[in-house]
Amino acid sequence: MQLEIHRAPNIFEQLKDEWNALHAQAVNRAPFLRAEYQAGWWAHRGGGEWPEAELCLITARVGGKLVGVAPLFAAQNRAGRRALLLIGSIEISDYLDLVVGRAHLDEFCAALLERLSQPDAPAWEALDFYNIPATSPTRAALGRAAAARHWAATESTLEPCPAITLPNDWETYLANQVDKKERQEIKRKLRRAQGGEQATRWYIVGPEHDLMAEVEAFINMMALTPDKARFLTPVMREQFRATARAAAEGGYLHLAFLEVDGERAAGYFSFDWGGRLYVYNSAIDARFNALSVGWVLLGYLLQWCIANGRTVFDFMRGSEDYKFRFGGVAGEIKRLQLSRTLTPAELGGEPLVTENMGEAEFFPG
């Protein structure tokens, strides 16, 4: 297995076809790990989250074929240490990982640690990998690779990631996966939206629309909420636009709006990938709160997913109450830390597993 470090940002475009073909067979197939998403994230450093960052993308080949990508960058982490982090860290990419198939995972993890020990690798005190799904095979593979080198390796649980496994029809979902009280609330709010005095309609942005105008409308609606207005700095707005373009290029952008009397009242920005709808962000115009427009649009999106054969409705990170009221069941994401020089106590967390009893063949499994 031959490993190479890449430091020039044109590597994303050079590798795009090979990278995305590998991603389709990888242990983590979330859209955040596709080449176009990663390139957009790197161009704006996560919306300014990492203004001082050095690219350190590592590829692995066997017989000339790309079999692994470690999309890394070097920066000072939140603990003030020089670290290598995954591109996409931390705040705006819900599921991260190495890009590697199961057959090469252990070999790649071992070779990666060896390559990062060489003198031409960037200086680092810790590998600091955020947002690894708890079911990812990478957790235990990195644990085994670290144990073989006698490195400190720890993990900690970050946030819940509620998701709904969808049945084949709407009524079955309501009857079996939502509590009676919430079931009645969802039905009541949908009836009110459909039969009230104000005209409502919802739509998914398609080729007949001006994509970037619709994205801009969504960003502006997000900014109506004070905490999201603070989040949407100029560079974060550019990041959001880049994410939308990347998702559109990859064919997985799913942008939906609910209108009330011809005005946009709510929106959901999601990724439609691999039979799963990843709900990335939401926007609400508070003028329409009396109609519960956020709940109504969620109801329509769930109906659309069921009717169109999607198997999972993934709310992703966050413990907001509504996610569970709609029937979300929480998964977890982890932070993994490895170090040659620091102790487990200095890293913090629990010992990193070397065998993962909850491991799936791939995520999302």
Q: What is the pLDDT of residues 161-178, one digit of tens each?
A: 999 999 999 999 999 999
Structural domains of the chain, with CATH: 2-159+332-351 (3.40.630.30), 167-310 (3.40.630.30)
Share of the chain above pLDDT 90, in %: 96
Nearest to 360 by CA among 42, 71, 133, 51: 133
CA dist 89 and 326 (Å) reads 28
Once rounded to an integer, what is the mean pLDDT over residues 283-312?
97
Nearest to 247 by CA among 285, 218, 284: 218
CA dist 269 and 45 (Å) reads 20
The residues, ordered by sequence, that sit 6+ positions from 106 with a Cβ below 8 Å of its Cβ are: 141, 144, 145
User: Which pLDDT does position 198 carry in this prediction?
Assistant: 87
Under the banding of pLDDT at 50, 70 and 90, the label for residue 179 is very high
Task: Give SS3 for 334.
Answer: strand
User: Which pLDDT does position 261 carry in this prediction?
Assistant: 96
Q: How crowded is residue 321: how many other Cβ atoms within 10 Å of its Cβ?
A: 7
Q: What confidence tens digit (pLDDT) does each residue in 186-234 have?
A: 999 999 988 878 889 999 999 999 999 999 999 999 999 999 999 999 9
**Is the distance from CB of 73 to CB of 84 less than 8 angstroms?**
yes
Q: How crowded is residue 33: how many other Cβ atoms within 10 Å of its Cβ?
A: 26
Under the banding of pLDDT at 50, 70 and 90, the label for residue 249 is very high
Structure tokens at 171: 């009524």
Task: Give SS3 for 255.
Answer: strand
Structure tokens at 220: 């502006």
pLDDT at 357 over 90: no
CA dist 27 and 365 (Å) reads 9
pLDDT at 365 over 90: no
Q: How crowded is residue 84: how many other Cβ atoms within 10 Å of its Cβ?
A: 25
Report the first-to-last Cα separation within the chain, whole angstroms. 27
Nearest to 150 by CA among 292, 339, 311: 339
Structure tokens at 282: 């939401």
Once rounded to an integer, what is the mean pLDDT over residues 91-116?
98
Residue 82 one-letter amino acid:
R
CA dist 189 and 49 (Å) reads 38
Give how far the C-alpha of residue 172 lies from the chain's centroid of Cα atoms, to the nearest Å: 28
Residue that wins the pLDDT comparison between 341 and 194: 341
From residue 234, alpha-carbon distances to 22, 219, 282, 319, 325 in Å are: 34, 11, 19, 27, 34
CA dist 92 and 281 (Å) reads 10
CA atoms within 13 A on the CB side of 24: 6
Once rounded to an integer, what is the mean pLDDT over residues 352-356?
95
Angle at 29 between CA 25 and CA 31, to 5 degrees: 130
Once rounded to an integer, what is the mean pLDDT over residues 13-18?
98
User: Which pLDDT does position 195 carry in this prediction?
Assistant: 84
Task: Give SS3 for 189.
Answer: helix
* Bridging pattern class, strands 54-62 and 65-76: antiparallel
Nearest to 236 by CA among 9, 73, 43: 43
CA dist 83 and 194 (Å) reads 52
User: Which pLDDT does position 149 carry in this prediction?
Assistant: 98
Under the banding of pLDDT at 50, 70 and 90, the label for residue 153 is very high
CA dist 187 and 214 (Å) reads 29
Structure tokens at 80: 């003030």
Once rounded to an integer, what is the mean pLDDT over residues 272-279?
97
pTM (2 d.p.):
0.96
pLDDT at 181 over 80: yes
Average pLDDT, the chain: 97
Structure tokens at 301: 């999106």
